[in-house]
Structure 1
Amino acid sequence: MEHSPSLLLSNHRSLWLFVIIVLKALIPSFIQKWSKKQKLKLPPGPKPWPMVGNLPEMLANKPAHRWIHNLMKQMNTEIACIRLGNTYVIPVTCPTIARQFLSEHDATFASRSLTTCTDLVTSGYLTTILVPFGDQWKKMKKILTTALLSSQKHLWLHDRRTEEADNLIFYVYNKSKTVNNGVAAGLVNIRSVARHYCGNVIRKIVFGTRYFGKGRKDGGPSFEEKEHVDSIFVLLKYVYAFSISDYIPCLRRLDLDGHQKKVKEALKVIKKYHDPIVEGRVKQWNDLPKIEEEDWLDILISLKDANNNPLLTLEEINAQIVEIMIAAVDNPSNAFEWALAEMINQPNLLQRAIEELDSVVGNERLVQESDIPKLNFVKACAREAFRLHPMAPFNPPHVSISDTTVGNYFIPKGSHVILSRRELGRNPKVWNEPLQFKPERHLKCDNGSNVVLTEPNLRFVSFSTGRRGCPGVTLGTTMTVMLFARLLHGFTWTAPPNVSKINLVESNDDLNLAEPLMAVAKPRCIMYASLASSECTLFQIQ
């Protein structure tokens, strides 16, 4: 069938009319978006090199976190943009801007970065904290919040936590009576004690055991527990370290900075202890008709999907347990070590904490979790340690899932937003005398009523906030306050002999004390329940 020339001309006119209408509708929107991107600038930052960005400067100025903070101070900015490879890294030191990222734009910045070390630790992103936004994250977060960290489960495991708080006192009491290699009795490595208390608590909650081996009669860690906790801290050191391989993916196989090797070695140690327990427990659940749940591992194994099949694979269980261990041991132990160092140098703070504890608890029993709401000054000391001496320089990266605007700056899709724990807590616009350890500032902020360790306004970072906020606030708070309260109530603490003042110097590589805190412990007049016998003996040191 042939069409007449007039009909063809009419069709062409209709087509062109349609195109013109569409263009008229789309062009203004395109121009508006294009002009908006042209007007909005990236946050200020150093001029990047082609291809590699600012990686040369980062590698020449290790550690990277000090370089970033010094750079921001030189530029007099509280938000910056540093291009590493093709990745925009956006550090933030201002609470107001931080809240915009994690509150107003929380959904946009709810993902995580993909790194070689997080891939290894999570067994290919099977967990929660370190996993990008998506179905796996939603699945695992729901399990954490409802199956493991509910208020009911917290109460269920109360006795397990109390056992480890009792063991803490028992172990330090034994250390206070021991003379080693001619060193005066009572000299205690606070870093070791605090880290192993946290390790004991989380092992008891997850596996139902303090020890992987035979254990020790004095309540202290054996070789197995030392190796386990040390390996966890290796993972913490490298999981979000600034690695060149993460910004130039073609170099990942080369492992130029050695991070992958160290993470693999640490994981090998951890799995040596975890895997036999997990596999043995799975076999028990498969072989026996009914097993009563006794710990988190039992819960993870017993979870079922809609078809009554196991909800989690063995790989998911193992990976999630590793991540739980990482999340539990660092903040409480670091906070107590720094806080005690500061308080030994300011004896009036130690005295005030002891007076509060004696007033609330007395001197004939040990601190219990039920006392926590009334221990406001002790909690203020913990808050101040989180503020002034955070465990890590930055929180885990929040990755933008789309282009957006924050604080009148253009933030491209894929940017890594990192909140500076160190500088948020030391921001002079927010905190008076920011470099001074002054717990009383938190009593004023909270009017002295039920001080809490959370900080939703991001004036410092404890448990973060938003979709990526820590779901274990109750457990983390309990572990932290019990560590502080038991050791401050149970012992007097002084500097070692011939040391007039604790040296409060940070390590060159991280934010830990440069040297583990050594302090002399003297038992106070308190009823000590010895775990070695059923008797209670009253010890009093004059």
Structure 2
Amino acid sequence: MPLVSSAGAPTLAMLAVMAATFLLVVALSRHRSKASMSSTAARGLPLPPGPPGLPVVGSMHQMLANKPVFRWLHRLLEHSGGEILRVRLGPVNVVVVACPEMAREVLRKNDAVFADRPTTFAAESFSMGYRSVSISPYGDQWRKMRRVLTAEVLSPATENRLRGTREDEADHLLRYVHAQCAAGGVIDVRHVARHFCGNLIRRLTLGRRHFRPTAAAGAVAGPGPDEVEHVDALFAVLNYLDAFCVSDYFPALVGLDLDGHEKVIRAVMSTLNRLHDPVIEDRVEEWRLLRKAGERREIADFLDVLASLDGGAGRPLLTVQEIKSQAIDIMIASIDNPSNAVEWALAEMMNKPDTMRKAMAELDGVVGRDRLVQEPDLRGLNYLKACIREAFRLHPYHPFNPPRVAMADTTVAGYSIPRGSQVILSRVGLGRNPKVWDEPLEFRPERHLDLAGDATVGLGEPELRFLSFSTGRRGCPGISLGTLITVMLLARLLQGFTWSKPPGVDRVELQEADASLVMAGPLRLQAKPRLPARLYQAKHDGSAQEM
């Protein structure tokens, strides 16, 4: 049921929401403490600037009438000075930060205060009751799963053990694009990038790239229906997780599904459960039998890591539900930023031939054309990594980082931030901040070489001049894996092929979609092999041309 008409005007559904919120004032009184002004009066400090809002609902009516919400928030942010903004949505203060100094206050100085996450219908659904790391509120369950993820799943030993799997998927990528070249078609870069990430994270997590048998040997096969549905479901999780739903701020409205989000979320979870559960349950049973027999076998993927952990007294450390929720968590953290950054980087480079030449010259100098780029080579590809950093800066997939919830009254930049406030860092505001970046809308990888000096270029940004991987105790523990996936994807595409615009296309249109930050249409380019033919040959019969 839509809340705004196609023209942006409030509908009857929106009016119903407003009426319902007024009727629920008493029931929601316990949540109103989150927006309490008492701390402001006690400190004598002002709240961050922003629209005043209405009683009870705050600026909820404006949020509903201005979709997509992130563009409305950025307009308000610009109007308020471009660095910090407060919008009250129901009982919750939502604070948007777009200044690196303020961002460092949030994620460094006040890291312990801003360690919590909001509780929402989407978060509870996708984490299966707050059992995984990135979505769960701060507490014992989060600490437990964080230790498992950092010490076991994403440990250097596991990363090294699974290197062969990652490089095998990079070989599949090369062969698939080469097969498309032979067919004479135009390459859909978005399709290639997203399904490379999907195939890779399925293999790393579940030990399989397909959910069912694929095409016969020698066939030119793309992803099957299950794989397409799986990747779509993972992106749906990402798009709905922090989607400014009415019930995120008025939890008593969960069940009415006034935004239509709950129906979508249930459908997405049904898809993920259908595809994941048989694989996970079979593996958990396998490790139960091994544990009963006092035996072990070699770890082959993340699922093995999770299922094999011992909790003492011959019992597993993790429940089946914890394993299922963490599998989703790992997958959604690995698929969006690499594929989006590479698509945007390649699009920008197509309009800047000198940038493309520099990146390919670096690959030829560091790796050459007689072998394929491998993971140890990535450290020396500083210009290539600078191109990816610039794509992260200028073209993030998400407009904001996941919300941080203040667990106590605090201050940021001299403003009072009451307990229960949600603070979100604007990836767009930070990355395109004209006070930080010269010509912020220009794609210029060289700026990152200047920042690095003589040091090796990395994809992280500790000074928070833009956001690639978040920092602090709620920061991304998979920086190393994310870097390997992203840099290898772009490196193999550039090393393996010469890219050109399709006939009749003079310039790639660098336009964002209306409702998101992705390119308005998938990037479509022609590719021509540039390496010796033997390097494109399949290692395994029957899988050479599968995506």
TM superposition score normalised by structure 1: 0.90
Task: State the Cα distance separating 1:266 from its structure 2 match.
Answer: 1.1
Q: Which residue does 1:194 correspond to in 2?
A: 193
Task: State the Cα distance separating 1:493 from its structure 2 match.
Answer: 0.9
Summarize deviations over 1:321-366 as a string: whole Å, max 9, x none.
0111111100000000000010011111111111000001111111
Give 3-state SS (helix, strand or coil) of 1:56's partner: helix
Q: Which residue does 1:270 correspond to in 2?
A: 272
Q: Which residue does 2:8 correspond to in 1?
A: none
Q: 1:460 aligns with which of 457, 466, 477?
A: 466
CA distance in 1 between counterparts of 2:254 and 2:125 reads 13
Task: State the Cα distance separating 1:192 from its structure 2 match.
Answer: 0.7
CA distance in 2 between counterparts of 1:528 and 1:215 reads 24
- Give me the identity figure in percent: 49
> Which blocks of at least 5 consecutive residues in structure 1 are unaligned?
1-32, 179-184, 538-542
The AA in structure 2 aligned to 1:76 is: G
Is 1:234 matched up with 2:236?
A: yes
CA distance in 2 between counterparts of 1:313 and 1:467 reads 24
Q: Which residue does 2:442 correspond to in 1?
A: 436
Is 1:530 matched up with 2:537?
A: yes
Which residues of 2 match residues 54-453 of structure 1 at below 5 A? 54-178=59-183, 185-216=184-215, 217-218=219-220, 220-288=222-290, 289=293, 290-292=295-297, 293-453=299-459
CA distance in 2 between counterparts of 1:369 and 1:529 reads 18
CA distance in 2 between counterparts of 1:532 and 1:400 reads 52
Give 3-state SS (helix, strand or coil) of 1:91's partner: strand
**Kindly tell me: are residues 73 and 521 of structure 1, through their superposed partners in 2, closer, same or farther at Cα, counting changes over 3 Å?**
same
Note the aligned Cα RMSD (angstroms).
1.6
**Kindly tell me: are residues 219 and 374 of structure 1, through their superposed partners in 2, closer, same or farther at Cα, counting changes over 3 Å?**
farther
- Decide whether the 8 Å contact of 1:191 with 1:337 is kept in 2: yes
Task: State the Cα distance separating 1:533 from its structure 2 match.
Answer: 5.4
Q: 1:39 aligns with which of 44, 52, 56?
A: 44
Answer 1 or 2: higher relative contact order, Cα 8 Å, separation at least 6: 2
- Decide whether the 8 Å contact of 2:406 with 2:420 is kept in 1: yes
**Kindly tell me: are residues 73 and 304 of structure 1, through their superposed partners in 2, closer, same or farther at Cα, counting changes over 3 Å?**
same
Q: Which residue does 1:16 correspond to in 2?
A: none
Give 3-state SS (helix, strand or coil) of 2:74's partner: helix
- Decide whether the 8 Å contact of 1:425 with 1:461 is kept in 2: yes
Q: Which residue does 1:508 correspond to in 2?
A: 514
Q: 1:520 aligns with which of 526, 534, 537?
A: 526
- Decide whether the 8 Å contact of 1:37 with 1:410 is kept in 2: no
**Kindly tell me: are residues 173 and 529 of structure 1, through their superposed partners in 2, closer, same or farther at Cα, counting changes over 3 Å?**
closer
Give 3-state SS (helix, strand or coil) of 1:201's partner: helix
Task: State the Cα distance separating 1:218 from its structure 2 match.
Answer: 3.5
> Which blocks of at least 5 consecutive residues in structure 2 are unaligned?
1-37
The AA in structure 1 aligned to 2:463 is: N
Summarize deviations over 1:153-173 as a string: whole Å, max 9, x none.
110100000110000000000
Moved more, 74-83 or 422-431: 74-83
- Decide whether the 8 Å contact of 2:117 with 2:137 is kept in 1: yes
- Decide whether the 8 Å contact of 2:120 with 2:251 is kept in 1: no
CA distance in 1 between counterparts of 2:432 and 2:91 reads 30
Name which one, 1 or 2, has greater alpha-carbon Rg.
Answer: 1
Task: State the Cα distance separating 1:449 from its structure 2 match.
Answer: 3.2
Aligned length: 498
The AA in structure 2 aligned to 1:528 is: L
Task: State the Cα distance separating 1:220 from its structure 2 match.
Answer: 2.9
**Kindly tell me: are residues 471 and 189 of structure 1, through their superposed partners in 2, closer, same or farther at Cα, counting changes over 3 Å?**
same
Task: State the Cα distance separating 1:446 from its structure 2 match.
Answer: 0.4
CA distance in 2 between counterparts of 1:369 and 1:341 reads 24
CA distance in 2 between counterparts of 1:517 and 1:357 reads 23
CA distance in 2 between counterparts of 1:241 and 1:142 reads 28
- Decide whether the 8 Å contact of 1:170 with 1:530 is kept in 2: yes
Task: State the Cα distance separating 1:307 from its structure 2 match.
Answer: 3.0
The AA in structure 2 aligned to 1:87 is: V
CA distance in 1 between counterparts of 2:55 and 2:41 reads 25
The AA in structure 2 aligned to 1:197 is: F
**Kindly tell me: are residues 131 and 79 of structure 1, through their superposed partners in 2, closer, same or farther at Cα, counting changes over 3 Å?**
same
- Decide whether the 8 Å contact of 1:491 with 1:524 is kept in 2: yes
CA distance in 1 between counterparts of 2:71 and 2:317 reads 43
Give 3-state SS (helix, strand or coil) of 1:305's partner: strand
The AA in structure 1 aligned to 2:122 is: C
CA distance in 2 between counterparts of 1:449 and 1:127 reads 35
- Decide whether the 8 Å contact of 2:178 with 2:536 is kept in 1: no
**Kindly tell me: are residues 379 and 448 of structure 1, through their superposed partners in 2, closer, same or farther at Cα, counting changes over 3 Å?**
farther
Which residues of 2 match residues 2-41 of structure 1 at below 5 A? 37=42, 39-41=44-46
CA distance in 2 between counterparts of 1:165 and 1:77 reads 41
- Decide whether the 8 Å contact of 1:186 with 1:522 is kept in 2: no
- Decide whether the 8 Å contact of 1:54 with 1:82 is kept in 2: yes
The AA in structure 1 aligned to 2:283 is: R
Task: State the Cα distance separating 1:286 from its structure 2 match.
Answer: 2.5
- Decide whether the 8 Å contact of 1:379 with 1:451 is kept in 2: yes
CA distance in 2 between counterparts of 1:207 and 1:250 reads 37
CA distance in 1 between counterparts of 2:73 and 2:139 reads 30
CA distance in 2 between counterparts of 1:176 and 1:263 reads 38
Summarize deviations over 1:270-313 as a string: whole Å, max 9, x none.
11111000111122222343341211111111111133311111
Summarize deviations over 1:140-187 as a string: whole Å, max 9, x none.
000000011111111010000011000000000001111xxxxxx141
Task: State the Cα distance separating 1:35 from its structure 2 match.
Answer: 8.5
Summarize deviations over 1:478-515 as a string: whole Å, max 9, x none.
00000010001100111111111111110011100010
Give 3-state SS (helix, strand or coil) of 1:80's partner: strand
Q: Which residue does 1:481 correspond to in 2?
A: 487
Q: Which residue does 2:19 correspond to in 1?
A: none
TM superposition score normalised by structure 2: 0.89
The AA in structure 2 aligned to 1:227 is: E
